Amino acid sequence: MQIHTLPADIERTSMAIIAKELEERGIVLPEENAAVIRRVIHTTADFDYAQNLRFTAGAVGRAVHKLAEGGAVIITDTNMALAGVSKPSLKKLRAEAFCFMAEPEIEQKAKQEGTTRAAASMVYGAARWPEAVFAVGNAPTALLTLAEQIEDGLRPSLVIGVPVGFVNVVESKEKLFAVCEQYGVPAIAAFGRKGGSNVAAAVCNALLYTAADMLDPGKRGWQG
């Protein structure tokens, strides 16, 4: 057994294993979406994402273009997802990432309106950065709120819909994806029950790495 110790070498070998196993399964990834799918599989060790990740037409290309322009904003529904978003790539692209879930204003607004903090945080973020990338890995209510806002005229640069769980999860993803298709809003969603904050961060990172020309881990300052 070959032992790898350098971080960049470990990632490159992992990606090679993923490519080999995809080939063995007879799965050919669309080139535009391949980096996102491989990154999510790398994060989860779950090859189901090769099948359940769905993309609106041109979603990856449009999101990468937006990020590459510089100054983009990413809004997550959990601090866990926020923590997982690559800080070096954000810096290189002059981008910022935020999560408002712990803000006192959000808690108060959610109580007043009888909704969740996740939903309130999406409204809060959209009011300030209507062209942001919204990355939802936990809360179906956040996706449903974004769907409503898109129907009312919101046009984000991308919505990442990958909440995990059993209650309203499947339905919220399907609703969000259908609304995004209808209004031409780029979307990436993990259909079914699977997902999570780690998946939301992985999708963000695949897009950021692509936009910043940092897909190879050596370009991120890693050893190897």
Catalytic residue numbers read 42
Place of tokens 């300030």: 128
Is residue 56 within 8 Å of 31, Cβ to Cβ?
no
* Torsion, CA 178, CA 150, CA 145, CA 123, rounded to 10: 160
Residues 6+ apart with CB under 8 A from 48: 192, 194
Identify the three-state secondary structure at position 190: strand
* HEC profile of 65-109: HHHHHCCCEEEECCHHHHHHCCHHHHHHCCCEEEECCCCHHHHHH
Identify the three-state secondary structure at position 222: coil
Q: Determine the residue type at 47.
A: F
Identify which of 35, 20, 17, 4 has the alpha carbon closest to the alpha carbon of residue 214: 35
